[in-house]
Amino acid sequence: MMKIGILALQGDFDAHARRLVELGAEPVLVRNPEQLDGIDGLIIPGGESSVFLNLLGARGFEKLSEFVRTRPTFGTCAGCILLAREVENPAQKGVGALDITVRRNAYGRQIDSAIVEGPCELAGGVMEQVYIRAPRIERVGPEVEVLARRDGYAVLIRQGKLLAATFHPELSEDKRVHAEFLRLVEKYGQ
């Protein structure tokens, strides 16, 4: 059985854990960096990316960066921000593994949370997308594949063994995004 860690320092890790169980994987709540050694892939959930950075501290950030560079990782919302090469509004450090520029809280106060349906490249087409104080991906590098868009902006992307969404697939019934991540874990797992 695949063991998938979910960074559980803060934010919405429960819904991810339920989804993994539904898909036949074993969720492991990761609360300290040493736990990264025993898992096949990692989910970094939504929350506040700045709070994640504070809670990780320098050593946790190093350990996380090392994991992300070599193993399959899926970031949603704040998790996507943590994986990015460039973060704006305000500028913030990221692991730098995903070649994107991401703008935090890009939708303004009034429309910052929304449920929309948008085109998706995964088999089955159109996907529900739940946004909560979402960031926007303003630039994607040449190695980034765009799997779904909202108003023309990339919202679900894949770069090698990394997957990231600016929305929250764990809050919809649709299991395709997590299934895609497990496929990456199977493909790139060690």
Binding stretches for ligand GLN (CB under 6 A): 46-49, 77-78, 81, 104-105, 132-133, 135
Using the minimum distance from each CB to ligand GLN, give the nearer residue, 82 or 182.
82
Assess whether 170 carries a catalytic annotation. yes
Element at 83 (helix H, strand E):
helix 78-83
Residues 6+ positions from 89 with CB-CB distance below 8 Å: 103, 104, 105, 106
Q: How far is CA 138 from CA 92, 110, 183, in A?
A: 15, 20, 27
What is the spatial distance between Cα 46 and Cα 48, in angstroms, rounded to a whole number? 7
Closest separation between CB of residue 29 and ligand GLN, Å? 18
Count CA atoms closer than 13 A to 116's CA, side-chain side.
Answer: 17
Residue 187 burial class via C-beta count within 10 angstroms: exposed 0-12, middle 13-18, buried 19 and up: exposed
Kindly tell me which of 77 and 162 has the beta carbon lying closer to ligand GLN: 77
Residue from 16, 168, 178, 180 carrying the catalytic annotation: 168
Bridge partners of residue 98, in order along the sequence: 84
Active site residue 121: no
Catalytic residue among 16, 80, 120, 170: 170
**What DSSP state is assigned to residue 174?**
-
Supply the minimum distance, in Å, between the C-beta of residue 104 and ligand GLN. Answer: 4
Q: What sign for the dihedral angle of Cα 177, 179, 181, 184?
A: negative
88 versus 99: smaller Cβ distance to ligand GLN: 88
To ligand GLN, the closest distance from the beta carbon of 12 in angstroms equals: 8
Please report how close the Cβ of residue 27 comes to ligand GLN at its closest, in angstroms: 19
Q: Measured from the CB atom, is 47 or 72 closer to ligand GLN?
A: 47
Catalytic residues: 77, 168, 170
